Amino acid sequence: MEARERTGPLDGLRVIDMSGMISGAFATTMLGDFGADVVMVEHPEIPDSIREWPQKAKNGESLSWKSLGRNKRCITLDLGSEEGREIALLLIKDADVVFENFRPGTMERWGLGPTDVHAVNEEAIMVRLSGYGQTGPKAEKPGFGTVAEGISGWAHANGFPDREPLLPPISLADLTAAQFALQATLMAIFERDVGRGGSGEGQVIDVSLIEPLWRLRFGEVEAYDRMEYVRERTGNRHPGAAPRNIYETEDGYMTLSASNQKTFERVARAIDKPELINDPRFVDNETRVENAKVLDQAIEDWTKQRTTDKAVEVFEAHDAIVGPVYDMADIFEDEQYQARDSIIEVEDPDVGSIKTFAPIPKFSRTPGEVEFLGPRHGEHNEDVYLNELGMSNAEFAKLEETDVI
């Protein structure tokens, strides 16, 4: 069974997505954006939870699902039943990649673990996402991104020093794990198909929600090992660069970063304080970090007297690196987003014409596409089971009657 024809650099790649919620789903969304044929498996009676997430269109359709489920064909299948297992193995038999994010041990209990997968398809790459990973004393504990954001050390370092640790306003652990899962999948495909002639063998990729977010904290493991350094909350300041902050303006806020010397000197001139350049408190980045509070105050005394637009204009005239603080309404109006076609319009049978994220990054020759937004629950059952697996109408009807699909 070949992957259906798509456009994009991953055209020809077939992915069976048995994951739900966010981490695995966002990774397969990215694969689907760039041409992979993604077949998403949901339980017949328990749809993916994202289908109920806000915000919702007037007809009750979840716009979160419309975004996360795009470019995927959705089928229903009870993986825990014997018939469901057999059908799942038929789907896996011709797949390049299989994603799952159940609690460790669940797939093995269903007879769909790595040994079972590779028994029917030795070239399959099995991507496993879980809270703590497949091994270790905590492996079988349930884990959501919120817990990972705490255990990774991220929440401890996020926020202001006089306040409690701060969780992110997005599903950061899940989305970061998705990016690591995505790049790991492409690495494994390269090794199997290309590297040193291609091994021709599949493998298992084990992604926890904790480790990818923790891995972003470069330099901190080494710093603790050598100096017992523990990063504390610094608000919008960066512990390794100054000035770097959000600054209040007459009508809002703006961002500024000037960690290297030349950029800092441009900032000093822009705010009419060239004397800061030779001030011993600010002569290099290290001293500026030590005196960041004083430096930030000098900058904000200047920005508060100007509108955001005017402050940005002056800083940019001095070739400083600055920008406004946008909300989504601002993004929709921004000329840079518009010039790059970052927001595209797609027709959807449930919610009508709607704007969505364009596939990113941009490719010069094989760009991604949004073929359709998140489908209905089980929308592609007939397409996959009848047309691709070759079931008869009677077999299909029986599976529906017995709630296998």
Q: Is 5 exposed, middle or buried (0-12, 13-18, 19+ CB in 10 A)?
A: exposed
CB of 296 closer than 8 Å to CB of 245: yes
pLDDT at 259: 85
Question: How is 122-166 classified by DSSP, letter by letter?
Answer: TTPEEEEEESS-SSSTTTTS---HHHHHHHTSHHHHSS-TTS---
pLDDT at 313: 98
Given the candidates 3.30.930.10, 3.30.1120.10, 3.40.50.10540, 3.40.50.10860, the CATH classification of the domain at 14-215+342-401 is 3.40.50.10540
Residues in the chain: 405
Amino acid at 250: E
Question: How is 222-265 classified by DSSP, letter by letter?
Answer: HHHHHH-------TTSBTTBSSEEEEE-SSSEEEEE--SHHHHH
Question: How is 273-315 classified by DSSP, letter by letter?
Answer: -GGGGG-TTSSSHHHHHHTHHHHHHHHHHHHTTS-HHHHHHHH
Structure tokens at 60: 């009750």
pTM for the model: 0.95
For each of the chain's 405 residues, which pLDDT tens digit applies?
788 989 999 999 999 999 989 999 999 999 999 999 999 999 999 999 999 999 999 999 999 999 999 999 999 999 999 999 999 999 999 999 999 999 999 999 999 999 999 999 999 999 999 999 999 999 999 999 999 999 999 999 999 999 999 999 999 999 999 999 999 999 999 999 999 999 999 999 999 999 999 999 999 999 999 999 999 999 999 999 999 999 999 999 999 999 899 999 999 999 999 999 999 999 999 999 999 999 999 999 999 999 999 999 999 999 999 999 999 999 999 999 999 999 999 999 999 999 999 999 999 999 999 999 999 999 999 999 999 999 999 999 999 999 999
Torsion of CA 307, 308, 313, 318, to 10 degrees: 110
Question: Catalytic: 174?
Answer: yes
Distance CA 149, CA 152 (A): 5
Catalytic residue among 78, 116, 174, 296: 174
CATH topology of domain 244-248+253-324: formyl-coa transferase, domain 3 (3.30.1540)
pLDDT at 74: 98
pLDDT at 148: 97
Distance CA 157, CA 232 (A): 5
Extents of the domains making up the chain: 14-215+342-401, 244-248+253-324
